Amino acid sequence: MTTVPIYLLVILLLLLQLKHHYLDYRNQTDDEQLAKTDLFRRSAIIHSIRHGAATALCLIVVFPAHPLFAVIAGAADTVVHHLIDFFKTRIEGWNNSLIGHRYIWGVDQLFHQLSYLALILVVGCVLH
Amino acid sequence: MDHNHATSFVIIYLMLFFQFKHFIVNFLFPYDVPRDTKKPFYDLSALRHSFFHGAGVAVCIVLALPNMIGFAILAGLFEHVAHHCIDTAECKIKDISSNKLAPAHFRIDVDQLLHQLTYIAILVALKWWNLLVLGHTEIG
């Protein structure tokens, strides 16, 4: 983490926030939302792939010299996003009355944000 | 550890602190913020909620950068005002086509994005504070 300018990391964070808002809230269909209870449902997988592809796009915009890294990070984001969404819906199904939808949604959003920070940490450590 | 190295870590763990602060204050604290359009701007429970957010931001900055108490206080005040304005605006967002109150999920989504952008604005302000007020080129 020595040579990536800080402003690029902040721009990447900004793009990831906009990407997250658009794909998780504006672009998500009811079918995608309902499909998340099943790890292998097509529409849930498509939702996660969209997130991964958009993450790769954000990385290519900010770091155009590292397309391979962008693709690998996008693939990782696809898997991580899919797992977070899956576990969120499963926990919601088990404990909806006990914990409450709002708390589980907060945990879900926290984990998505932590995954973006982990990506930025990796970017800072790996890219030059 | 060089300056850029230290600065990158500060940016990341400050944002990490902000995320945990956001989760704790927004989701774990007793939730009594008004969610309808009838509550006034100076509603005490909403002001208390945004005060906790502002104080949380100040604490996060002091934990990450103990020598920047002045910036922490200003950033905390900024977060207090910004959070309150965003939460109040959230209750009043209307659907342009129907001129009725927008669906709750739409308003919450915009609200969450704006809170995240506020944290990024504080990171940018931190960089400029170092440059313009303290005369440093790097944080850390």
- pLDDT tens column, B94-106: 666 666 666 767 7
- Residues in chain A with CB shorter than 8 Å from the CB of B116 are 17, 113
Mean pLDDT score, A60-75: 96
Query: Tell me, what's the pLDDT at B27?
Result: 82
3-state secondary structure (DSSP) of residue A108: helix
Residue among A2, A9, A114 whose CB faces B19 most closely: A114
Q: Which residue of A lies nearest to B4 if distances are taken between CA atoms?
A: A2
A chain contacts of residue B16, beta-carbon cutoff 8 Å: 114, 117
Residue keyed to tokens 């927008």: B102
> Mean of the pLDDT values across residues A18-26?
89
| Coil/strand/helix, residue B94 | strand
| Cβ-Cβ contacts under 8 Å, B120 against chain A | 10, 13-14, 17
Secondary structure (3-state) at A13: helix
* Nearest residue, CB atoms, B5 vs list A1, A107, A120: A1
The span from the CA of B35 to the CA of A100, in Å, is 18
Q: Of A25-34, A74-83, A112-121, B66-75, which range is least confident?
A: A25-34
Beta bridge pairs of residue B94: B101
Q: Work out whether the CA dihedral A19, B114, A122, A88 comes out positive or negative.
A: negative
What values do phi and psi take at B101, rounded to 5?
A: -60, 130
Identify the pLDDT of residue A80: 97
Q: Hey, of A2, A4, A6, A126, which one would you mutate to test binding to chain B, going by the most B CBs within 10 A of its CB?
A: A6
Model pLDDT, residue B13: 86
**Reduced 3-state DSSP string for chain A:** CCCCCHHHHHHHHHHHHHHHHHHHHHCCCHHHHHHCCCCCCHHHHHHHHHHHHHHHHHHHHHCCCCHHHHHHHHHHHHHHHHHHHHHHHHHHHHHHHHHCHHHHHHHHHHHHHHHHHHHHHHHHHHCC
Higher pLDDT, B24 or A97: B24
Q: Best interface-test mutation with A: which of B5, B7, B9, B15 has the largest number of A CBs within 10 A?
A: B15
| pLDDT (average), residues B78-83 | 96
Cβ within 8 Å, pair A3-B116:
no
Which residues make Cβ contacts (< 8 Å) with residue B94, sequence separation at least 6? B100, B101, B102
| Mean predicted confidence (pLDDT) in B67-77 | 94
Q: Do A117 and B27 touch (CB under 8 A)?
A: no
Q: Residue B101 forms beta bridges with which residues? A: B94
CB contact under 8 A, A117 and B16: yes
Confidence of residue A83 (pLDDT cuts 50, 70, 90): very high
C-beta separation of B93 from B107 below 8 A: yes
Query: Comparing B36 with B112, which gets the higher pLDDT?
Result: B112
Poorest-pLDDT segment among A72-86, B10-24, B101-115: B101-115
Tokens of B90: 């959230």
Query: Contact, B65 vs B139, CB < 8 A?
Result: yes
Asked if residue B38 has pLDDT above 60, the reply is no
Cβ distance of B127 and A7 shorter than 8 Å: yes
Numbered residues of chain A with Cβ closer than 8 Å to any chain B Cβ: 1-7, 9-10, 13-14, 17-18, 21, 24-26, 102-103, 105-107, 109-110, 113-114, 117, 120-121, 124
Is the pLDDT higher at A7 or at A99? A7
Q: What is the pLDDT of residue B74?
A: 96
Contact predicate B90/B106, CB 8 Å: no
Inter-chain CB proximity B5 and A102 less than 8 Å: no
Chain A residues with beta carbon closer than 8 angstroms to that of B22: 110
**Averaged pLDDT of chain B:** 82
Residue A59 banded pLDDT, cuts 50, 70, 90: very high
Q: How far apart are CA B131 and CA B85, in angstroms?
A: 28
A89 or B133: which leads in pLDDT: A89
Q: Which of A13, A21, A117 sits opposite B120 (nearest CB)?
A: A13
Contact A26 B16 (CB under 8 A): no
> CA nearest A117: which of A65, A90, A80?
A80
Task: In whole angstroms, give the CA distance from residue B34 to residue B39.
Answer: 6
Assign B1 a pLDDT band (cuts: 50, 70, 90).
Answer: very low
The DSSP output letter for B1 is: -
Chain A with chain B: Cβ pairs closer than 8 A: 74
pLDDT at residue A95 is higher than 70:
no
